[in-house]
Amino acid sequence: MTPSSVRIGLVYPELLGTYGDRGNAVTLAERLRRRGTSAEIIDVDAASAIPDSLDLYLLGGGEDDSQVAAAAGLRASAAAIHRARDRGAVILAVCAGFQLVGHRYEAGDREAMDGLGLVDATTVAGADRLIGEIVLEPDASLGLPLLSGFENHGGRTTLGDDVRPLGAVVVGGGNGDGVDGVVGKRLVGTYLHGPVLPRNPALADLLLSWVVGELGPIDDSLPDALRHERLDAALRRGARRWFQERKLARG
């Protein structure tokens, strides 16, 4: 690794990698490579302390038991994560990872676990799971197009009054209150799987720009084709569901 390499940390992939979230790390590294910047993907396994020397920290999704184990490890390395963030590191937290960067998560059996407290958010288990394609209208300040993903979670996340969501839900469930995710200082949390970054290259580039600065253009014809196909499918399904619910409401 050269001194100019970007260090992409995949945190606890054996616990927080249920939904192909390694694809987020691969996407970030490849988009840097195509622009002439070297990158290294560093697996931080659950038996290791999380270093404070990484440039990006990726936390993915996992089942309840894995999330409990991951929460314990994250709390043990909390000081290192906070030092990294103070130094300018970027964090992407998806699904279980998103829940764990908040203050607290309360599972369905009412067992509660403390998170890292990086953002003002709390999560409780809902009565049912939110499963299916999801589309977001991102917060206008981010300058992003519509985002698409796939959600599969039971959590309902409440953000603090001074915290911004990643975006408003157009199709799907998200946090459970009309928005999805969270945006903090060099931090994005979301329920979008897919994985989220191959499906949304503009979001990948936003995260990278927080690390390396302005990025030049690259050929995105293939990821754009995937993005449009997934958006079209989700929006059609969302319109169909809206029409069916409208008919039921009218009797």
pLDDT at 2 (0 to 100)? 44
88: alpha, beta or left? (left if phi > 0; alpha if psi -120 to 50): left
CA-based Rg of the chain, rounded to a whole angstrom? 18
The residues pairing with 113 across neighbouring beta strands, listed in sequence order, are: 105
pLDDT at 19 (0 to 100)? 85
Q: Which of 95, 103, 153, 228 is catalytic?
A: 95
Instruction: Give a yes or no: residue 130 inside a domain.
Output: yes
Helix (H) or strand (E) holding 27: helix 22-33
The residues pairing with 132 across neighbouring beta strands, listed in sequence order, are: 151
Tokens 């990948």, residue located: 204
Structure-block tokens of residue 17: 């990698």
Contact 90/55 with Cβ under 8 angstroms? yes
- Type of residue found at 9: G
Cα-Cα end-to-end distance for the chain: 65
Instruction: Give a yes or no: residue 145 inside a domain.
Output: yes
Does residue 153 carry a catalytic annotation? no
pLDDT at 241 (0 to 100)? 57
For 74, list phi and psi in degrees, rounded to 5: -65, -40
Contact 126/166 with Cβ under 8 angstroms? no
Domain count, the chain: 1
Q: Structural domain of residue 81, as residue ranges?
A: 6-250
Q: Which of 82, 153, 193, 228 is catalytic?
A: 193
pLDDT in tens for each of the 251 residues of the chain?
A: 444 799 999 999 999 988 899 999 999 999 999 999 999 999 999 999 999 999 999 999 988 889 989 999 999 999 999 999 999 999 999 999 999 999 999 877 777 899 999 999 999 999 899 999 999 999 999 999 999 999 999 999 999 999 999 999 999 999 999 999 999 999 999 999 989 999 999 999 999 999 999 999 999 999 999 999 999 999 887 655 544 454 445 44
pLDDT at 16 (0 to 100)? 94
Give the sheet arrangement for strand 56-59, strand by strand. 39-44, 6-11, 56-59, 90-94, 187-190, 182-184
131: alpha, beta or left? (left if phi > 0; alpha if psi -120 to 50): beta
Instruction: Give a yes or no: residue 108 inside a domain.
Output: yes
The CATH number given to whatever domain includes residue 47 is: 3.40.50.880
Residues in the chain, overall count: 251
Instruction: Give a yes or no: residue 207 inside a domain.
Output: yes
Buried b (16+ CB within 10 A) or exposed e, 229-245: ebbeebbeebeeeeeee
Among 181, 137, 173, which residue's Cα sits nearest to residue 153? Answer: 173
Reduce the DSSP state of residue 73 to 3 states and report it. Answer: helix
Instruction: Give a yes or no: residue 1 inside a domain.
Output: no
- Type of residue found at 249: A
Contact 180/134 with Cβ under 8 angstroms? yes
- pTM given for the model: 0.92
CA angle 30, 153, 241 (to 5 degrees): 100
Does residue 193 carry a catalytic annotation? yes
Instruction: Give a yes or no: residue 16 inside a domain.
Output: yes
Reduce the DSSP state of residue 161 to 3 states and report it. Answer: coil
